[in-house]
Amino acid sequence: MKEDDPRVKVGKFLEDKHLIIASNRGPVEFKKDNKGNIQLKRGAGGLVSTLQPLMEAVNGTWVASAMSLVDAEVADQYPENRVPITPDDPKFTVPFVVVDRKRYEYFYSVISNPLLWFVQHYMWNPPYTPEIDQHIHLAWKEGYSYVNKLFSEKILEEVERTNKEPVIILQDYHLYLCPALIRQELEDIFLSQFIHIPWPQPDYFSMLPSYMEEAIIRGLLSNDIVGFHIPRYACNFLMTCEKYADLVDYYQQKVIFEGRVIQVKSYPISVDDEGIKNFAASQEVKEKEKLIKELKGDNILIYRTDRADLSKNIIRGFRAYDLFLEKHPEYRGKVKFLTTGKPTRQQIKEYRDYHTEIQRTIGEINSKHLKDGWKPIEHIFKADYALVLAAFKNYDCLIVNPISDGMNIVPKEASVVNEQNGVLILSDKAGCYDELKEYSLNVNPFDVSETAQAFHTALTMDEKEKKERMDGLKDKIRERNIFHWITDQFEDIERLFG
């Protein structure tokens, strides 16, 4: 890291500290190739890119689940499942939490997803779902609570390994119960937790059984700092705390609970803009651009990239495109909608059904509007990141229309490298909406008609306005990149330590 990199200041603060990160998905994963050889792969996402250099600089510890049988196999080769990363040149350590597969399924596929994920993304249909049956109660006890206990025990073991003062940063909704379990053993320890998904309004969150809700709130209020991406989610959380806390102070963004003060803050995550631009200029991405430009041809290119998650609102986006072509048939043969993505959480029925419906919708629209060999939607299955970046560089219109999400960094990644002054269509329910709304065409994600009109507006916008909007997006992202996200948190941690 360069001396003026904001992470350098964080590194200096951590020189005499023991940094412990905990998350369900870790910074690395292990796979087997066709010959059965085990290979180490770096974890995906900006969180790993941001935190891993810090972990290496301070010889930190990242506690994570063994997500696969190969992870568990590798962990078993090391005492107490503490895997050095990398084994031939250790810079930091990943102690894996290895869980029986049935208990892990309870933890991940019954409680974390879909129950908590659906509640926090407003995805349940209250007249019909959720139905909290005995299976869910069992999964909470035997899966979610059990795994959180294992995580807390593993973290406490790591605390005992050094005389340095520990700084523990928990990540996301998988570990809601962990802070309370740690606090029971070490009352004066510093704990911080960042929630990467939305926090809903109290009435919606209360669809959870009361004992689950109370355990979650007590767990989170065992932290010293609870972080969210945007102020609205922090405010929703503060409102949820009202019936449990001694005092909720909205102005100072704090909760007093059992004699302790908990800060509730928002830290909008962003992207590594320079890193993305460097990769976008690589030969690997340039090779992928050949395919994108071949698909685009002389067409106007509309693009979206998402996991097939119900919260991403993919089908309504296609329905809006269908309506746009109905209203403006002159664009048939002149516009191409490219979508890249892959199925996710296919062990959960709702996700399998949604992925099937996406495929059916694409087929229906293509059949309906097919003209002289022109296909209105192209779907590339399981696109790699190099191909996604190639599409980011070449789109004329990008649609990001989730019904709810924590932040959604797709518009930020895409705007950093786009070379066409592409227009962003953005849901007003996206976490990044408040940051980017001035430079995007904003839509209600449930309003298919409004989204169809947004397609037309984007495709007919004059070049001057397109450039002004894109310049605004690029400036906004450059002003606050992902390193500001982490340094802002550590500044608050350092202030509270003092």
pLDDT digits (tens, 9 = 90+) for 393-410: 999 999 999 999 999 999
pLDDT of 7 reads 63
The count of other CB atoms within 10 Å of the CB of residue 229 is 26
> Which residue do the tokens 């005389």 mark?
163
263 pairs with which residues across the strands?
Answer: 225, 254
CA distances from 78 to 136, 156, 255, 422 (A): 34, 18, 41, 50
pLDDT digits (tens, 9 = 90+) for 334-344: 999 999 988 88
Q: What is the mean pLDDT of residues 244-251?
A: 97
The Cα 424–Cα 435 span in angstroms is 13
Contact 320, 332 (CB under 8 A): no
Of the listed ranges 74-78, 120-124, 292-296, 378-382, the least confidently predicted one is 378-382
The Cα 475–Cα 307 span in angstroms is 27
Largest separation between any pair of C-alpha atoms in the chain:
72
CA distances from 478 to 275, 422, 426, 474, 482 (A): 12, 17, 19, 6, 10
Residue 51: pLDDT above 70? Answer: yes
Contact 403, 427 (CB under 8 A): yes
Helix axes 385-394, 410-417, angle to 10 degrees: 60
Burial class (CB in 10 A: 0-12, 13-18, 19+), 265: middle
- Considering only CA atoms, which of 212, 253, 266 is closest in space to residue 489? 266
Domain borders along the chain are 6-270+483-497, 281-479
The Cα 382–Cα 340 span in angstroms is 7
Higher-confidence residue of 143 and 162: namely: 143
- Considering only CA atoms, which of 387, 388, 362, 390 is closest in space to residue 377? 362
**How large is the C-alpha radius of gyration of the chain?**
23
Contact 29, 71 (CB under 8 A): yes
The Cα 42–Cα 53 span in angstroms is 12
pLDDT of 449 reads 98
pLDDT of 53 reads 81
**Equal CATH topology for 6-270+483-497 and 281-479:** yes
Q: Work out the percent of the chain whose per-residue pLDDT is above 70.
A: 98
CA 93-148-53 angle, to 5 degrees, is 25
Residue 1: pLDDT above 60? Answer: no
- Number of C-alpha atoms within 13 angstroms, CB side, residue 272? 17
pLDDT digits (tens, 9 = 90+) for 296-332: 999 999 999 999 999 999 999 999 999 999 999 999 9
Which option is the CATH number for 281-479: 3.40.1080.10, 1.10.260.40, 3.40.630.10, 3.40.50.2000? Answer: 3.40.50.2000
Contact 304, 339 (CB under 8 A): yes
Record the tokens describing residue 142, joined without a space: 């035997």
CATH code: domain 6-270+483-497 is 3.40.50.2000
CA distances from 54 to 126, 185, 339, 479 (A): 43, 27, 35, 22
The Cα 301–Cα 294 span in angstroms is 11
The Cα 378–Cα 284 span in angstroms is 22
